[in-house]
Structure formats: C-alpha cells, structure tokens
Chain A
C-alpha cells in the first residue's frame, strides 16, 4: 500500500496493461507507461506503431479493451473525452480540432461554457485567456475566424483550449509537423514554462532530434508494443531509431557529388491565382538540370503544392513559361497531365491518397494509373490483364513491395508500401524529369531509407529531380541545391553544404541571412 501512495505523488499518469484491438488489428499490446509529474515525456514510434491509438485511449476517444489508467495514482475509467477533460487531460491533436469559421474565443469556449448564454462565457474566457497568453507566451488574435489564422496560431489556440479547461497533463500529437524551426523552438519554450508551472507534457513525434531537444524521458513504441523507456539524457538518435525499427538504420544517406548536365526543367516567371483570387505562385523561376536534385523547402502551404501541380499539368498556367524537357507549357500552350507524362515527366504527388492512388483498386491496377493508355498494356479491344499483372509482379519484386500480391487492394498496403507503389510506377516508366512531392510522408523509417536510396540512384542515372518536402532533414540529406519558398515566391537559394537548420528556418519565415544574400549576389555577378 505504501508503494501506491508513493506512486500517487510521483506519477501524473500511469498505464497498466492497456490492450486495444480494431477488428483483426492489435493496435496496442499490453502497454505499461509511467509518466512522472512535471516532466516532458516523449513517445516515439513509427507510423502505425500505436502511439496515436494509445493517446486516443488516454483522451477517452476510444475505450481500451483491457487495462487501467491511473491519474495522480487514482485509477479512473475514462469512457469519453468529457471524463478525460474533467480528469485534467488536455490534448492537442495532429489535425487541429477547431471550428474554422468560429473565432479563437468561441473555439476555446465550445464545450466549456459557463452557462446557457454564451456572452457571459465569452467575457469570462477573454479575461482568462489574456492571463494565460501573457503567462506562457501564447498570444493569439481572439476575435478573428480561425480560418484566417496561421497554423502556428491555430496550434496555440489548441494549447489554450486545453489550459482553459484546466489541463494538468497536456498531450501533443506530432505538434511540429506544420511549424517552422523557429516556431518549433517557441513551442518548446512554451512547453518548458508549462513544465515549470507543474504541468506534465506528453510529446508524440517521429522526429528524434526534437525528442532529444525537448524531453526528460522517452518511451519507444514498436508494432503496438512499448519496447523501451529511457532517460533522454542517456540516449542518442541512433539508439532510438534502432529501438523503433528493431534493427540498425542509416539516418543519413551516403551521397556522392552530383554531376549536373543540361537543363531539363526550366520555369520562368510563373504566377498562379486560385479560384478564390489568392495569389498562390508569384513570379517563380527555377532550373533543374539532369543529374541533380533541387529541393524546395518551406512550411506547408506556401505554394509548393501549387508549383508541383502546375508543373504536372494539373493546374493551368496563368502567366509565365515552363520548359518541360524541351516542351513548352504556358497559357498559350496548355498541357494536360497525360501530355506532361508523354513529355517524359514523372510525377509523384504529395498526397498519395488524393492523387496518387485509388484506394479500392488492386495493386496491379494502381501500377498502370496514368499509363493505362500505354501500348504494352492494351490489346485491340480490351486491356491486357495478364500482361499487366505479370508486369506488376515483376515491379513489386524489384521494389520489394510487401505483400507481393498484385490482387490486393491498395488500401490494404501499409503507408510505406503504398508510397512504393506510386514511386515504382513513375520511376519504372523511365522519365527524364521527376517531380517528387513528400516522398516519405507517413512512411516508416525502414522504408524511408530505401526510398531515399532509390531517389539518389535516379539522380546518379542522370534524371533531373525536383523534390518538395516539408521535412527539412529530408531536403537537406537529398538535395544538391535548396530553394526556399514563402508565400508563393522563392525566397532564395542555398547550396546543400551551406544549408543548416537555422538558415533554412529563417528563410522559411522570409528572412534571408546576409551570407546567403552575399552568395546570391556573387552568383548573379
């Protein structure tokens, strides 16, 4: 019994034997976890390791099949989010849980109203929020609709929401995915000051560097199991990666020097305005040569997606010209995606679910999407089913897509294998230019390694590659030159060897450091 009282004082959150099935999937297996009060506790694991499921159980979004949750030493039955909130648990979801056309104030008040009429609740919340934002450096415009605010502000609103409800345990699920390095730094400062006030923070992320920078303890999950609990000070990125994957992983790809050849893709003064009248691309110019990888860095939503879609022929060009492997694409010479492909351009779209695949199609059908008119797949009347399936088997083998079943529905492959389907499809057509968007989004570390190796192989085979990614590490380890985008324009160019985190971070916020300016001036002179 004395041990019980001891743990009451020490642990803000304790999980004992949490187990959760979704149909045949065993998402959480007998999970034990102890989170010390007033610490920042990291939880790492690959996609699908069960981190989000576990947090959703703590937050009452799902109920565990088995196991106990103890808050401050007391075992509680958390059957819904309401109970979780009442027990002092707050959660900042990866996809913000905000009502887009409500103001920040209304969003905070929703579900925590003080009475039947909202005016009183809003007044009360305003006073309290002003206090909280002063204390923790979380100021936000309270009266603007959330949809008009940046993601950084939206995240602050989520944190304020939790604090306003009196959260003593704050869970953040992949909070830095949408932030610039500087915003991330600010977030970690906020978390530190929360910790100083006695709040317990649980930080879920797949970015190992952030775990090392921000946490006190870290727990590692792999395939639904908790495989290790370590003190952050006593571990390294390499150790954590190995624990996550279950084998040694190369975090950095070995990259030889590039040997750039002729310009294969050339963009001049490209501008694009969307249907809402917002300028998405503003006078963008860039070149990509054969045998080099040009990376586009930037916080998501600064025109990268629009750039890729315009180059792929999905969005028409407003003004400016594009030279695609010797073919002109501009307002007078529009091309559709099929024509762009014929011109020798491969496109790996940013969002494989929205653009790259059709979830209900079998793997062999997924392998011909976009190339279904190709001669080798078509007979006089119908498609050559047999040939397509044979072709698919061969490619699956070469790309190590698992399981190697051409009839399996796309949706039933893991994220990494789905991505391999898309990448294999595009690369196997042997294009001269590759447009690659977020090649490793939602892909586990093991698969990332092999995808990165393939991309570098393509470069060494003399392809011109344009790589868009919001993962700075990915951009830095693959690119030969890095362009930074902000608000639809290219802020500047950095050679890969000069591209440190700080420089890129500043440029992503539209601040160009002097040494980069000097470099650019030198080049144009």
Chain B
C-alpha cells in the first residue's frame, strides 16, 4: 500500500507541476504557430506572477490577482508584438530583453512597494486577516471516500483538492485545439506561421493575426504566472518562474506544436520534477543520487529526444522570420 500511496503522491504533484507548464506551453503554441518565436514566456510568467500576487495582496481577492496578472502578461506580450511585428525585430533578442526586463522590474518594484527583498508579503496572514490565495476545490464526497482503498486515493487525493487553475489548465487543452484547428482564427493563425506572404495576398492582415496571437499568448501565460504566485505558493519571490518558461517551450517543441502531445510532454516534465522533489537524498546502489541530476532530467530528456528519438520536429515554416513585403 505504501508504494501505491507514493505513486498517488507523485501523480498528484505531477498535476500541480504540469499546470503552469501547460498554460505556458499553450501560450507559446499560439505565438509560435503564428510565426513568433517565444523565448519570452519566462518573462511573461514572471511579470504576471508579480502583478497577480501584488493585486491579490492589495485587494484581498485571488480573482483580482488573476485579472491583474493576465493584464500584465498581455501588456508584455503586446510589447513583444510591437518589437517583432511592427518593427520586425529579432524574435529571440526581443524575447530575451523581455525576460531581463521582467526579472529586473519585478524585483525592483517589489522591493520599492513592500521592502521585503523583492518578495511580496504572504497572501495568507492571520494577523492581517488576509486570505488572498486560491482555495482548493474539494469534490463532493471526497472526504467520505478518502479512506476507501484505491478509489479513495485516486478520487480524494489525486483528482480532488486542486486549485481551480489546475482544472482550467486541462480544460484549456481541448479548447485551444478547437480554436487552432476548427475556427477561422486558428486557420489564419496557422497559415501565418507557415507562409505570411500567402496570408497577405489572401487579403488577411499578417500584423493583425500576429498581434491577436500574442494577445491570446499573454492571457494564457498570465494564468501560468498567477498560478505560481497565488495558488501553488502564496507569495511572489524574485525569479520564481525558475526556468518554467523555457521548460514549457521545450515541451512545446517536444510535443511538435500540437496541443495533446504538448500536454503529455508537460505531464512528463511535471512527473520528472515531482520525482526530483521526492528523491532528495534517495540512495540507489549505495550512491546518493545528486538532486541536481534529477532536476536536470527534463532538459537532458528534451535534448536527447529532439536529437533523434521522436523524429524531426517540424516547426512552423515562417517561425522567427519578420514579415517584410519584398519587392517582387
């Protein structure tokens, strides 16, 4: 039974870890499918985490935090669009600039507002009678069933008791698929990422499509950041995104820019992170497993798998190329 419990705990943590990755990877999907390389996911997550935590602290409502986080992330995403679409800037360079800006801005403003070394105050505080964190959602009868073997573990532990954002992340996957593959907007967005000139000559504005794509990207990345600061933890701390944006980007490539496979990649990475957490100090064959090695696994795995095991990942053809009308 102990093994079963461990597995349930790891799977439970997997869902928690995968949630921000899924939001961020879906955000990246909208941007990259429209042809804009999104290395800036990291910065968008960070800024929305900060804005979310700050707003939640001041208003006392996690929902206001979510709104503020999304708005901040959207502003950054539109800044990214301004650089890459309006001014044909290099996608990677402007993306990195956004990441650096987010890292510096959050720490500096945080310190100025709260004077806690860049942290926001804790969102749950008995002294201030504050509870601005999302509450877990407990399924009906979860309490009653929790002692039933197997079913209790799966239903009460694994499925029930997550933050609403976790469930939203998994709902967002089919929704994004629908938008990308079954709507006019999705058709145009995918076309723009493949051949913007063809889109232009079909009478569609490439600029408009890409700005919209980055708008959606901003919204989804906002969910990822807010989840980190207002649900998973109850506080913003500098650089709390800790590479989640890059990992999401890896999951997106690993998942070949498709929603379902990308979600599976996020779950895999989430599981590796969960295992890394639990294997602190674990001993295998008399050696203590260095936790850094386990933590590096998702990245190593990405490199190895992309290197040949999953076949070539075919990126959108026009990705990373600013669209400039050429002289015919």
B-contacting residues of A (Cβ < 8 Å)?
22, 52-53, 56, 59, 61-62, 80-82, 84-86, 91, 93-94, 96-102, 106, 109-113, 115-119, 121, 161
Contact = CB atoms under 8 A, between A and B. Distances in A.
Contacts of B201: 59, 61, 81, 91, 93, 97
Contact of A118 (B182, B203, B327): B182
A116 B200 contact: no
Given A117-B183, A118-B184, A112 B327 contact: no
Contacts of B185: 116
Interface of B: 182-188, 190-191, 194-195, 197-205, 317, 325, 327-328
A113 B198 contact: no
Nearest to A113: B184
A490 to B, nearest CB: 32
A61 B199 CA distance: 12
A99 B198 contact: yes
A100 B203 contact: no
Given A81-B203, A109-B187, A118-B187, A61 B195 contact: no
Contacts of A93: 201
B132 to A, nearest CB: 37
B187 A97 contact: no
Nearest to B188: A110
A61 B325 contact: yes
Nearest to B194: A99
A62 B328 CA distance: 10
A101 B200 contact: no
A80 B203 contact: yes
Contacts of A121: 184
Given A111-B203, A116-B184, A117-B183, A53 B198 contact: no
Given A97-B197, A100-B317, A110-B202, A56 B328 contact: yes
A61 B328 contact: yes
7 contacts: A82-B203, A82-B204, A101-B194, A110-B198, A110-B199, A112-B202, A116-B185
A113 B187 CA distance: 10
A453 to B, nearest CB: 30
A195 B314 CA distance: 42
A94 B199 CA distance: 16
User: Which of A56, A59, A81: most chain B Cβ within 10 A?
Assistant: A81
Nearest to A51: B328
Given A61-B200, A97-B202, 13 more contacts: A22-B327, A53-B328, A61-B328, A62-B325, A93-B201, A97-B201, A99-B198, A100-B317, A102-B190, A106-B187, A110-B191, A110-B198, A111-B202
A521 to B, nearest CB: 46
A102 B191 contact: yes
B282 to A, nearest CB: 43
A233 B16 CA distance: 77
B256 to A, nearest CB: 12
Contacts of A85: 202-203
A118 B184 CA distance: 6
Contacts of A118: 182-184, 186-187
Given A110-B202, A111-B204, A99 B182 contact: no
A468 B194 CA distance: 31
B205 to A, nearest CB: 8
Contacts of A81: 200-203
The 7 A-B residue pairs whose C-beta atoms are closest, nearest first, are A111-B202, A82-B203, A97-B198, A52-B328, A113-B184, A97-B201, A81-B203
Contacts of A52: 328
A100 B194 contact: yes
A451 B188 CA distance: 45
A489 to B, nearest CB: 28
B195 to A, nearest CB: 5
Nearest to A108: B202
User: Which of B182, B183, B202, B204: most chain A Cβ within 10 A?
Assistant: B202
A109 B182 CA distance: 13
A372 B67 CA distance: 63
A53 B197 CA distance: 15
A176 B130 CA distance: 74
B204 to A, nearest CB: 5
A107 to B, nearest CB: 8
A48 B195 CA distance: 25
A111 B325 contact: no
Contacts of B202: 81, 85, 97, 110-112, 161
Given A53-B328, A80-B203, A85-B203, A98 B198 contact: yes
Contacts of A100: 194-195, 317
Contacts of B317: 100
A117 B182 contact: yes
A451 to B, nearest CB: 24
A119 B328 contact: no
A330 to B, nearest CB: 29
A520 to B, nearest CB: 42
A101 B191 CA distance: 9
B328 A115 contact: no
B212 to A, nearest CB: 14
Contacts of A62: 325
B35 to A, nearest CB: 12
Contacts of B203: 80-82, 84-86, 111
Contacts of B194: 99-102
Given A56-B328, A61-B328, A115 B184 contact: yes
A91 B188 CA distance: 19
B182 A53 contact: no
A356 B328 CA distance: 21
